[in-house]
Amino acid sequence: MAERRYRVLVFDWDGTLIDSASAIVECIQQAARDMGLPVPSRERASHVIGLGLQDSLRHAVPELPPVGYNAFAAVYRRNFLAREEAISLFPGVRELLAELAAQGRALAIATGKSRRGLDRALDASGLRAHFVATRCADETQPKPHPAMLDELGAELGAPREAMLMIGDTSHDLEMAANAGVDAVGVTYGAHPQESLRALAPRGLVSSVAELRIWLRSNA
């Protein structure tokens, strides 16, 4: 078997593996309503998907003082939990991850979710067994800081040239660039194709099926 170019494949979660971007946007907007704040536009709320809590709220609800961030997060979480069971994986994700694991790839996650949120999502989806390492925004520097990828590489003994980041937001691709790691952008998630293309990823794909083909040919 030919040697694989990338030994470690790092996936974003929301908007990349699971079809949650619309729910996240709606929950941000509803939390703003619940707290009597100006409701951010869909574009503004979409932009913050993948960022850490402080960066997200600073952009999405700039009228909210930092002292209110924890309260906003609690209201958002309540709204999201009410919708969570209805959120599903993108078609083909299970098959893709099973194929990659069978190839002996090390699969990892770098996400803006909290550790508690990711653990709940991994258990609910049944995907936990596929991933050998994960990093969340509340346990290291959030995206687009390179810390998640730096730490995953160190944990898995992988140099940056052996890693590939796969994500749906400019924050994912900026994190990869900051870490010196190649990236693939998926255009079916939170951020528009043009914002991903501007960051010059190695590839852009419009579905999980296209991602599977791209990885077979290029990774």
CA 98 to chain centre: 19
Is the pLDDT confidence value at 219 over 50? Answer: yes
Q: Which domain holds residue 51?
A: 21-85
The CATH number of residue 171's host domain is: 3.40.50.1000
Model pTM score: 0.93
Residue 103: in which H helix or E strand, if any?
none
Measured N-to-C along each axis, helices 170-179 and 147-156 cross at an angle, to the nearest 10 degrees, of 60
Residue-wise pLDDT for 147-198, tens only, equals 999 999 999 999 999 999 999 999 999 999 999 999 999 999 999 999 999 9
Please check whether residues 73 and 163 belong to one and the same domain.
Answer: no
Active site members:
12, 14
Please check whether residues 37 and 96 belong to one and the same domain.
Answer: no
Domain contains 2: no
CB 179 within 8 A of CB 150: yes
> Would you state the pLDDT for residue 2?
47
> Would you state the pLDDT for residue 3?
58
Q: What is the mean pLDDT of residues 132-154?
A: 97
Domain count, the chain: 2
CB 77 within 8 A of CB 69: no
